[in-house]
């Protein structure tokens, strides 16, 4: 019995013109700041490859995460977030946040958690972004791992610079320190 292939997505260097079918993804901006581009190679469930180019945001961070059991891929291009359906090659959503520093998909659910300097956000297969109420103030946050329904994170407290740990219950979306 052949196992079904899953959607795949990985950052690549700018491909040679014509090597892949390519789509450009951009967001309308009010400023005319020169921003970097990132390229992602997508592989559909049938093995077909295509490339997407994504206009970057404000920070030097690139991440790719795939939602569980869906062809939805969350791409962070230099801090700017995009959700693309890898099968249909459609842009489903862009985030307002263009300084995303961390992102993780929660393994057994179609939940994505991401963070910038000012907040922590989630979305799931409904693509509705929710800003979480965070009981601590941070400058940086790092997502460590998911275990037993909790996302472990480390953060730099904004006033003291101390590194502390917190846990997000991925079912209730409530924090514990």
Instruction: Write out 9-41 in H/E/C secondary structure.
Output: EEEECCCCCCCCCEEEECCCCCCCCCCCEEEEE
Distance of CA 174 to the CA centre of its chain: 20
Q: What is the CATH number of the domain that holds 18?
A: 2.130.10.10
DSSP-assigned letter for residue 60: S
- Tally of CB atoms within 10 A around 106: 21
Q: Would you state the pLDDT for residue 1?
A: 45
Residue 72 located in a structural domain: yes
What tokens appear for 144 in the block?
A: 């460590």
Residue 69 counted as domain residue: yes
Q: Mean pLDDT for each consecutive 10-residue tract of the chain (177 residues)?
A: 74 92 84 80 96 92 91 95 97 93 90 93 95 93 94 94 95 89
Specify the pairing of strand 130-131 against strand 163-169. Answer: unpaired
pLDDT value of position 33: 66
Nearest partner of 52 among 29, 20, 79, 80, judged by Cα: 20
Which pLDDT does position 173 carry in this prediction? 95
In a domain, 81, yes or no: yes
> What's the rounded Cα separation, in Å, for the pair 177 and 168?
9
Give the DSSP H/E element, type plus range, for residue 153: strand 150-157
Q: Are 5 and 45 in contact (CB under 8 A)?
A: yes
pLDDT of residue 113: 97
pLDDT (0 to 100) of residue 68: 87
Q: Kindly report the CA angle at 11 between 8 and 15, in degrees rounded to 5?
A: 105
Number of domains composing the chain: 1
In a domain, 1, yes or no: no
- Length of the chain measured in residues: 177
Domain that holds residue 50: 8-25+35-176
50 is a domain residue: yes
Q: Is residue 132 in some structural domain?
A: yes
């Amino acid at each position: 019995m052949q196992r079904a292939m899953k959607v795949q997505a990985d950052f690549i260097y700018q491909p040679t013109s014509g090597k892949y079918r390519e789509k450009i993804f951009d967001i309308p901006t009010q400023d005319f700041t020169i921003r970097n581009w990132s390229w992602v190679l997508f592989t559909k469930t049938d093995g077909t490859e295509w490339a997407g180019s994504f206009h970057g945001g404000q920070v030097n961070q690139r991440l790719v995460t795939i939602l569980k059991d869906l062809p939805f891929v969350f791409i962070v291009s230099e801090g700017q977030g995009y959700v693309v359906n890898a099968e249909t090659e459609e842009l489903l959503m862009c985030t307002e946040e263009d300084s995303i520093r961390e992102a993780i998909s929660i393994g057994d659910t179609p939940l994505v958690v991401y963070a910038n300097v000012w907040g922590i956000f989630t979305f799931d297969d409904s693509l509705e972004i929710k800003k979480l109420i965070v009981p601590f103030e941070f400058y940086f946050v790092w997502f460590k791992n998911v275990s037993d329904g909790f996302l472990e994170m480390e953060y730099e407290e904004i006033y003291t610079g101390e590194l502390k740990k917190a846990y997000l219950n991925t079912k209730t979306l409530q924090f514990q320190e």
